[in-house]
Structure 1
Amino acid sequence: MGSIPDIWGLVAPLGPGRTPAVRLFAPPGAALATGAVDVLTGIALAGLVALALAAAVAGSLLAVRLARRAFLARPTTGREALLGREAVVRRTGNGAGQVLLEGAWWTVRGRDAPVREGQRVRVVGQEGLDLVVEDAGPRTDRRAAEEEPP
């Protein structure tokens, strides 16, 4: 009977479901330390699983919100995409001008008067490939300085 505890002292499991390891020269309290490490590892693993689950839920909610916003957004293509947009006339000639709008150069014509270089205009219509614009007046916000040509 006395030899059975000695055997379990030499061959001790490292934790639930793990391969036993031989501890021939284990200091006193080694089994207690191993058990404490196993408990802490289990707690840390449970924490990581909970954190991963929370991140997955948060990511899913964000993806649903962004998809819903994109689905409900009014499509902006064709003529109505440019209506109401503002730009600065960069070049002029023959009563028309050119503006850089949405990454493309457009020819613009004033609805009531010819456009002039540096003028801020608002798109109010389209005639063929030319945009019809009106004077939008100077901008007063901080972005105006960033968008105005030097």
Structure 2
Amino acid sequence: MKNVKSNQETLELTAKEREIEQLQILLANYQLYYQNLRNFHWNVRGNSFFELHTKFEELYNDASDKVDEIAERILTLDGHPLGNFSDYVAISSIAEANSNCSGNEMVEQVIEAHNTIVLKVKDVIASANENDDEGTLDILPAYVSYLEKMNWMFKAYLK
């Protein structure tokens, strides 16, 4: 797969190239997260159907906006965003979700995905700092705040 390099090649990248690479991985994570949410939205069952069906839709709509924003940020930095799902699966830290489970188990998978994305956003922020990229630094902190708030709410839901 092109656009994502080996560890040795990563050491030789410029700050801008490292940032683009981290944004590609964030894009892949968001694409898997988005698809998992769609899966949960379609397949949730049980007493919590109405609230989780609606919440998963809210989350996948937000994720869709972020996918577009991340891809456009890559383009702004003169990169070429990945567009094939096979590329996303290859580099994402988020796996395809199992939707043959309870609503609570789906929520637990969402919490885990949020934690993974927050860590990757922090990696991108570090790369953006190294690259003196104020544009990316202006966008990404809000991602962290949103996901942390959602996790707090989901954890309260599970209690």
TM-score (norm 1): 0.22
Larger radius of gyration: 1
Q: Which structure exhibits the higher relative contact order, with contacts defined as CA atoms closer than 8 Å and separated by 6 or more residues?
A: 2
TM-score (norm 2): 0.21
